[in-house]
Amino acid sequence: MNVRELMQVAPVIPVLVIDDVASAKPLAEALVKGGLRVLEITLRTPVALDAIKAMTDIEGAIVGVGTALDGDDLKRAQDHGAVFAVSPGYTAELGKAANDISMPLLPGIMSAADIMRARDGGFKEVKFFPAAQSGGPTMLKALGGPFTETVFCPTGGINVDTAKDYLSLSNVLCVGGSWVAPRSMVEAGDWEGITALASQCMSLK
């Protein structure tokens, strides 16, 4: 799958911070059962790469890496089974590294200048981050004027109540969110509750 196809699998891409690798498989199973198949595991914990590897065993899961900062992050994640990457920002070096290893990349942007740099690298699918702090739906609507070919996955500060405001925009294909897998529910092993949250997301668009 290319990035645009990944963005259209479901309205929400869960942004997951995994603290205990033992929770990786049941968490992935719960989210996939609820309809959210594209999973972003952030490189924010020591077990992130092992969690990626574990989640790739779950049927239907499309597992990628988040918080990728450089080519080394991309390669390590790919070696552990990640099939796409998400970054908080964009550099030409990161874009080249992704292309060199054929890793679909959803780079982060926050401004018009960021979008233009990403476009120069061939990236028309981008993450708007941090969305809530950077102008939210109003900013994305404004950016849609000059950047008619660019589509967005806003992430950061979004919840189930605000997701529809973003998803109603024609240039937004999906949103990223951590609310579908709250740390408290993961620690409690409330997989049914997480499946219910995932199912709720499927009705957002």
pLDDT of residue 42: 98
Residues above pLDDT 90, as percent of the chain = 100
Using CA atoms, how far apart are residues 105 and 88, in angstroms rounded to an integer? Answer: 11
125: CATH: 3.20.20.70
For 16, what's the count of Cα atoms within 13 Å in the CB-facing half-sphere? 37
H helix runs in the chain, sequence order: 3-7, 24-33, 48-55, 71-79, 92-100, 112-120, 136-143, 163-167, 183-188, 191-202
Using CA atoms, how far apart are residues 113 and 116, in angstroms rounded to an integer? Answer: 5
Looking at 29, 40, 53, 125, which residue is catalytic?
A: 40
Residue 93 scores a pLDDT above 90: yes
Question: How many domains does the chain contain in total?
Answer: 1
pLDDT in tens, 13-58: 999 999 999 999 999 999 999 999 999 999 999 999 999 999 999 9
pLDDT grade for 128, boundaries at 50, 70 and 90: very high
pLDDT grade for 12, boundaries at 50, 70 and 90: very high
Show the domain range for 190.
3-202
Q: Check if 127 is active-site.
A: yes
pLDDT of residue 205: 78
Q: Check if 149 is active-site.
A: no
pLDDT grade for 147, boundaries at 50, 70 and 90: very high
Residues above pLDDT 70, as percent of the chain = 100
Residues 155-177, mean pLDDT to the nearest whole number:
97
DSSP H/E element including 14 = strand 12-16
Looking at 29, 53, 125, 127, which residue is catalytic?
A: 127
pLDDT of residue 124: 98
**Is residue 39 within 8 Å of 63, Cβ to Cβ?**
yes
Helix 71-79 to helix 92-100 angle (10° resolution) is 30
Mean of the per-residue pLDDT values of the chain: 97
First to last CA, the chain: 21
**DSSP states along 106-149:** E-EE-SHHHHHHHHHTT--EEEETTTGGGTHHHHHHHHTTT-TT
Residues 121-144, mean pLDDT to the nearest whole number:
98
